[in-house]
Chains A and B, each alone.
Chain A
Amino acid sequence: MSATVPVQVTVNGQARKVDVEPRTLLVHLLRDQLGLTGTHVGCDTSNCGACTVHVDGESCKSCTVLAVQVDGSEVLTIEGLGQEGNLHPLQQSFQNQHGLQCGYCTPGMIMAAADLLQRNPDPSEAEIRHGLEGNLCRCTGYHNIVKAVTEAAGTLSTTQVNA
């Protein structure tokens, strides 16, 4: 193994100091060193989006980012988005609308959708479909994913109005 370099990164709200090989991908830092296995790898060409996380509030494909690039950044993964008993509205809407089957693309899909709804709180069906273009699902045909994102947009806007 080559020499390692130190990286300081805040992951799901927790400050972490790690030493990584310079070529380590962010997805492998998350999965192998930090034990956050909810972020998945489904391709080697940044097409599938199963590895989508948020870096400093924006979605990114963690298989295409070096761990050293997130030095000083904040990373949010599916584990930090919401947990059992405290689900993010998207997690709940994916269950409500049967927006997942095998579940492998789901964490990345939810993280991409969360980013989409931050940028566009009231997307049309076409905007959702184009917004999720970077995330592949083989099980659902996307039909129920679109419904789930639509439901979550409604929930989030209601929550914000009430807040």
Chain B
Amino acid sequence: MTAIDHRPANHVGRSQLRKEDPRLITGRATYVDDITITGVLHAAIVRSPEAHAKIVSIDASAALERDDVVAVFTGEDMADLLGPLPMAWVPPGIEVNNPPHWPLARGTVKHVGDPVAIVLSHDKYAVIDAAEEVLVEYEPLPVCTDIETALDDGATLTHPDFGTNKCHEWSLGGGDIEAGFAAADVIIERRVVNHRTSGAPIEPRGVLADYRAGALTLHSSTQVPHFVRLFLALLLGLHEEKIRVIAPEVGGGFGAKLQVTGEEVLCSWASRRTGRPVKWIETRSEHMAVCHHGRDQVATVKLGATRDGRLTAIHSKILADMGAYLMLLTPSIPSLGAFVMSGVYDIPAVQTDITGIFTNKCPTDAIRGAGRPEATHMIEVCMDQLADELGMDRLELRRKNFIPKESFPHTTALGIVYDSGDYHGSLDLLMEKLDLNAFEAERAEAATRGIRRGIGFSTYTEICGLAPSRITGPAGFGLQTGLWESAIVRVTVTGSVAVYTGTSPHGQGHETTMAQVVADKLGVEPDQVEIMHGDTGTGAMGLGTYGSRTTAVGTEAVARAADKVVTKARTIVSHMLEAAPEDIVLQDGRFVVKGSPDKGMALAEISGVAHVQPELMPEGTEPGLEETSFYDPANFVFPFGAHACIVDVEEDTGKVKVVRYVAVDDCGPAINPMIIDGQVHGGIAHAIGQALYEHVMYDEDGQLVTGTFVDYALPTAAELPSFETDRTETPSPVNSLGVKGVGEAGTIAATPAVMNAVIDALRPLGVTYLNMPLNSESVWTAIQEARA
């Protein structure tokens, strides 16, 4: 644990406008598809229209006869690849069935969109024509699509070699679960569905691979350039230093780009094979079919309490759809939710049992929140169900079981240490903002018009700041990597600052927030601080941007490197001004002698000495003013908050409209309140999208029904209200900045708030429980069934 830095801040805490924006608002940013290299070949990928089939033959002759086609490759051509695509989770003591997964299918295809061949042409239109001329003969095989029957005797097998559709079983428990339920006076059990969704960043994925003279440069729209480099090295047999992976401007990720993809490997391989740069830009239709999906769990949740509303036990049995293959983190995602399966409540016994199941669908993996939205949905929906059963106010039930502020750091029944929290505080502020005096009158008035109004709540915590390696790594949870971050802070000769981070932000505004932190540390303006990221060829290594880790882990690493620069700067100043190093303080942008503010040096002067006249520094001091920090936190961080959603439901049509949404979040001291609000807005919208509109659907033959934005309904501005946000600030003791994460908070908190609001609205009609998605059809059907 580290003490919180309470130095007065000039820039931290302010809603500074973003440094990223000038290039983005003028159309001068550079995304992957904006980059070209002379001689580039455009790639089109021939994909399976079948959900499960044997590849009988591939006839590329017609495509190859075209003047505009340079090459066609199939899985058989890639025998020199040193291994299948990576899966990075090896949980100790757990057997995980992991089918081979190749950039181009070998022998069979396992889901619609599985890649079969790559076609290369200098013309980006012609290559699509040519891909249609590659004739693939398939022998269709039976298909498995339903996880709830996939383990039945005689079920169709996705991977017959395993003899089962089961991928793995994984459990996490703490406390005496049997005693917990024995102590309960009331036990509720619900089937909780968290349906399949798409990350759907507005920029689809894209790759530009350029192999020449033994070295590979890969531009990729990725959240994890360092991971990508590592696995390209392993699969292509190249030294890591011969590979440079650049994530240029990245148009959103939401977990969809937290991946080492077949296309990255395939285009890199094809560039080496052809000696030409190879570019592949994903179409939206491809994105919907083959970029990993998220969620897709069916859980049976049992929650027990005493008659007076004291929680005694929670048990979640989760069936999780892996899809057809395991990608980088596929089977580990549901487990991330298990760590917070007791939510913000003090529950003496907690048990989660997860079964991963293969189906003939696109693989699932991390999508914004990754396991934690599912867990929070289970808990918060079931808390309302339990309150109903107990005849108790749902907020009173929550308050009664909140982990009290005084008991932080709090060790849960699972042995997880929640760093800090004030759950009553965030709910108090939420209720103040809501001011529900008029609500019942509005509800009654709406009912006279056939509109059912309801309000739902969600009080949540999440586990984020992914790290710490000792818990997440090979001997702990089983991820085959450490999850630290590193940073380099370099003061230039003229006193501006270059910061290199191993994280890879893609819209979260870290070029601004990291600069605010460094500016305060070094006594310069944020405009003098440039944040360099997303390039394995320049500077610091790291693990990327996901899991709300970039501020809590990445920015802390930056802060620590800046602290080291300050230490060196003070040494130089103390030597130059003949004062003790501990008497040198930063004041009004200058390092001055305490008590003598006229005696001091600005950062530019100090850097001038360090670079131009190093002989003036204390003897033995290395020239330059640059420091590196590697940071692996001692614990996770646990943001939290309280959300409320008010909905109107049209009785005659089942149409749900969110009319008001109020969110109080706590991610520690705000570095930039404007950016935090923006993250919360986007997260809430993502979750409302899932709750009401978005649903990746397959039919019983494994055909994707929602293959474009026509069928997969992202919410537009017209579907959403403006959001009311506020914050409490409870510092984390884990890092020196006291910060937690906020990128996923809205997504984690909001689906149960929407769900509970809809159930609240429909309770007068006899509807007591529902599952997502709450589209008009499902809500209307529930109303009819309740009436029948």
**Chain A residues packing against B (C-beta within 8 Å):** 1, 21, 23-24, 28, 31-32, 36-45, 47-48, 50, 77-79, 82-84, 87, 91-92, 94-96, 98, 100-107, 110, 125, 128-130, 132-146
- How far, in angstroms, from A78 to B24 measured CA to CA in the complex? 10
Q: A1-B126, A45-B284, A91-B25 are in contact. Are A101 and B507 (CB under 8 A)?
A: yes
User: Is the pair B720, A103 in contact by a Cβ cutoff of 8 Å?
Assistant: no
Q: A45-B710, A103-B249 are in contact. Are A144 and B34 (CB under 8 A)?
A: no
- How far, in angstroms, from A84 to B28 measured CA to CA in the complex? 10
Q: What are the residues of chain A within 8 A of B284 when measuring CB–CB?
A: 42-45, 48
Closest chain-A Cβ to B126's Cβ sits at a distance in Å of 7
Mark interface residues in B21-37 (1 if CB within 8 Å of A CB, else 0).
11111111111011000
Is B250 close to A, CB under 8 A? yes
Residues from 690 to 715 in B contacting A, C-beta threshold 8 Å: 708-710, 714
- A130 nearest in chain B by CB position: B718
Is B788 close to A, CB under 8 A? no
Mark interface residues in B492-530 (1 if CB within 8 Å of A CB, else 0).
000000000000001111000000000000000000000
User: Is the pair A105, B202 in contact by a Cβ cutoff of 8 Å?
Assistant: yes
Is B283 close to A, CB under 8 A? yes
Q: What are the residues of chain B within 8 A of A91 when measuring CB–CB?
A: 25-26
- B68 nearest in chain A by CB position: A1
Q: What are the residues of chain A within 8 A of B20 when measuring CB–CB?
A: 103
User: Is the pair B33, A41 in contact by a Cβ cutoff of 8 Å?
Assistant: yes
8 Å CB contact of B202 from A110, A125, A137: A137
Q: What are the residues of chain A within 8 A of B685 when measuring CB–CB?
A: 140-142
User: Is the pair A78, B723 in contact by a Cβ cutoff of 8 Å?
Assistant: no
21 chain-A/chain-B pairs, Cβ below 8 angstroms: A24-B125, A28-B124, A38-B29, A40-B203, A41-B33, A42-B284, A47-B709, A96-B17, A102-B252, A102-B253, A103-B23, A106-B25, A110-B25, A128-B717, A130-B718, A132-B716, A134-B716, A135-B717, A138-B682, A140-B682, A141-B720
- How far, in angstroms, from A84 to B508 measured CA to CA in the complex? 22
- How far, in angstroms, from A133 to B684 measured CA to CA in the complex? 18
Q: What are the residues of chain A within 8 A of B204 when measuring CB–CB?
A: 42
Is B622 close to A, CB under 8 A? no
- A42 nearest in chain B by CB position: B202
Q: What are the residues of chain B within 8 A of A92 when measuring CB–CB?
A: 25
Q: B interface, how many residues as a size bin?
A: 35 or more
Closest chain-A Cβ to B5's Cβ sits at a distance in Å of 26
Is B175 close to A, CB under 8 A? no
- How far, in angstroms, from A134 to B283 measured CA to CA in the complex? 19
User: Is the pair A102, B507 in contact by a Cβ cutoff of 8 Å?
Assistant: yes
- How far, in angstroms, from A104 to B204 measured CA to CA in the complex? 10
Q: What are the residues of chain B within 8 A of A100 when measuring CB–CB?
A: 21, 24-25
User: Is the pair A138, B25 in contact by a Cβ cutoff of 8 Å?
Assistant: no
User: Is the pair A140, B708 in contact by a Cβ cutoff of 8 Å?
Assistant: no
Residues from 523 to 581 in B contacting A, C-beta threshold 8 Å: none
- How far, in angstroms, from A141 to B747 measured CA to CA in the complex? 11
Q: What are the residues of chain B within 8 A of A143 when measuring CB–CB?
A: 681, 720, 722-723
User: Is the pair B678, A144 in contact by a Cβ cutoff of 8 Å?
Assistant: yes
Residue from the set A28, A92, A128, A129 with the largest chain B CB neighbour count within 10 Å: A129
Q: A40-B31, A43-B284, A94-B25 are in contact. Are A138 and B201 (CB under 8 A)?
A: yes
List the 7 closest pairs (A to B, CB-CB), nearest first: A38-B27, A104-B251, A141-B685, A102-B507, A103-B24, A78-B27, A47-B709
- B688 nearest in chain A by CB position: A141
User: Is the pair B26, A87 in contact by a Cβ cutoff of 8 Å?
Assistant: yes
- A79 nearest in chain B by CB position: B27
List 9 additional contacts besides A37-B33, A133-B718; criterion CB under 8 Å.
A1-B68, A43-B708, A50-B202, A98-B677, A129-B716, A129-B720, A130-B717, A140-B685, A141-B683
8 Å CB contact of B26 from A84, A130, A146: A84
- A97 nearest in chain B by CB position: B674
- How far, in angstroms, from A94 to B25 measured CA to CA in the complex? 7
Closest chain-B Cβ to A61's Cβ sits at a distance in Å of 12
Q: What are the residues of chain A within 8 A of B675 when measuring CB–CB?
A: 98
Is B418 close to A, CB under 8 A? no
Q: What are the residues of chain B within 8 A of A110 when measuring CB–CB?
A: 25
Residue from the set A79, A102, A104 with the largest chain B CB neighbour count within 10 Å: A102
Q: A37-B34, A48-B709, A144-B678 are in contact. Are A107 and B718 (CB under 8 A)?
A: no
User: Is the pair B26, A95 in contact by a Cβ cutoff of 8 Å?
Assistant: no
Q: What are the residues of chain A within 8 A of B29 when measuring CB–CB?
A: 38, 103
Q: A47-B710, A94-B21 are in contact. Are A141 and B684 (CB under 8 A)?
A: yes
Is B254 close to A, CB under 8 A? yes
User: Is the pair A1, B123 in contact by a Cβ cutoff of 8 Å?
Assistant: yes
Closest chain-B Cβ to A53's Cβ sits at a distance in Å of 10
Q: What are the residues of chain A within 8 A of B200 when measuring CB–CB?
A: 138
- B24 nearest in chain A by CB position: A103
User: Is the pair B252, A138 in contact by a Cβ cutoff of 8 Å?
Assistant: yes
Is B285 close to A, CB under 8 A? yes
Q: What are the residues of chain B within 8 A of A28 when measuring CB–CB?
A: 124
Q: What are the residues of chain B within 8 A of A106 when measuring CB–CB?
A: 24-25
Q: What are the residues of chain B within 8 A of A45 when measuring CB–CB?
A: 284, 708-710
Residues from 218 to 254 in B contacting A, C-beta threshold 8 Å: 249-254
User: Is the pair A129, B708 in contact by a Cβ cutoff of 8 Å?
Assistant: no
